[in-house]
Amino acid sequence: MGKNPICEMLHIDYPVFQGGMAWIADAELAAAVSNAGGLGLIAAMNSNGEQLREQIRRAKTLTDRPFGVNLMLMSPFIAEAVRVVCEEKIPVVTTGAGNPQQYMNDLKAAGVKVICVVASVTLAVMVERMGASAVIAEGCESGGHVGETTTMALVPQVVDAVSIPVIAAGGIADGRGMAAALLLGAQGIQMGTRFLTAKECNVHANYKAKVIAAKDRDTIVTGKTLGHPVRALKNRMTRAFAEKEHDPNTTPGELEAMGAGALRRAAIEGDVQNGSCMCGQIAGLVRTEDSCSDIVRGICADAKKLLGAGTAQALLP
């Protein structure tokens, strides 16, 4: 068995993280991914401190394995979420959609490992200096909030710029994607879209069905004019949003109002026409609803085969 630095650091079997999908990544999904030997993460995004604590305690009843919390830095509840993570002795957090600087000291003082999602080399270097334990280099193929650089271009540039481990994200949903990421120099992967259709994922069935039906060109990025571009499946909502966004008479407030509550509408209520079905470009490859265990083990086994015995020995368990 090879030694993978991310597996060693986090006491997990496979270097596979589940993306911290807002309104979707709950205790059940996180526990299922952790039970499969990967790293499950509860999304703190839509929860206040006490709701997050409830999810954390629920996950603790569902798994004895390590799991983490994803901190969305634009969340109105971010300060409470950081406090609860420290109090509940969560071993690792991932951060996204911003610069984690102001929370870094508290998290590290509480013994929490901080792994930051970055969309640029600049931020990767900054968070390494702040004490991040690893970075997740997320390309713009991802669903949700995206940067501008593709995974193929971003990952090797981040790998060369930092000395901490790099996890690749964006556009990865099978063993081929994982093998490619490892060859680019990443030491692990994070997947959102693939886990969105997992059996243990509680997202609304309409949302899952739309992801499974999606083809390669079915996503679009909207919200660039607001400063937070978001990738989601094309639907009535994204068409209306894109139209408004290109109309010079539209105010930013009107656009913000259109976006508010849209993810909840799709993920919880199942309104996949008027809600936001955030999802990555790799959706076209995701055709089945599988268990988290089949996903994690299957992808690692396929990647290992593709890489060949020598390379695989060094990179995978």
Nearer Cβ to ligand TUI, position 179 or 198? 198
Q: Which is nearer to ligand TUI, 9 or 154 (CB)?
A: 154
Quickly list DSSP for 283-311: GGG------HHHHHHHHHHHHHHHHHHHH
Closest separation in Å from C-beta 201 to ligand TUI: 16
Least separation in angstroms between CB 238 and ligand TUI: 13
Q: To the nearest whole angstrom, how small is the minimum distance from the Cβ of residue 37 to ligand TUI?
A: 24
| Gyration radius (Cα) of the chain, Å | 18
DSSP state of 2: P
Shortest CB 241 distance to ligand TUI, Å: 12
Q: Which is nearer to ligand TUI, 32 or 146 (CB)?
A: 146
Residues in the chain: 317
Is the C-alpha dihedral spanning 200, 202, 207, 209 positive or negative? positive
The least CB distance from residue 264 to ligand TUI, in Å, is: 10
Q: Which residue is nearest to ligand TUI (CB)?
A: 144
Q: What is the nearest approach in angstroms of ligand TUI to the Cβ of residue 308?
A: 32
If DSSP states are collapsed to H, E and C, what string results for 47-89?
CCHHHHHHHHHHHHHHCCCCCEEEEECCCCCHHHHHHHHHHCC
Identity at 97, one-letter amino acid code: A
- If the CB atoms of residues 35 and 276 are measured against ligand TUI, the closer one turns out to be 276
Residues that bind ligand TUI in the complex, under the rule CB under 6 A: 22, 45, 72, 74, 96-99, 117-119, 123, 138, 144-147, 228, 230, 278
Smaller CB distance to ligand TUI: residue 98 or 171? 98
Helix (H) or strand (E) holding 126: helix 121-130
Task: Please state, in angstroms and rounded to a whole number, the distance separating the CA atoms of residues 263 and 22.
Answer: 8
Beta bridge partners of 203: none
CB contact at 8 A, 190 and 136: yes
Closest to ligand TUI by CB, 40 or 144: 144
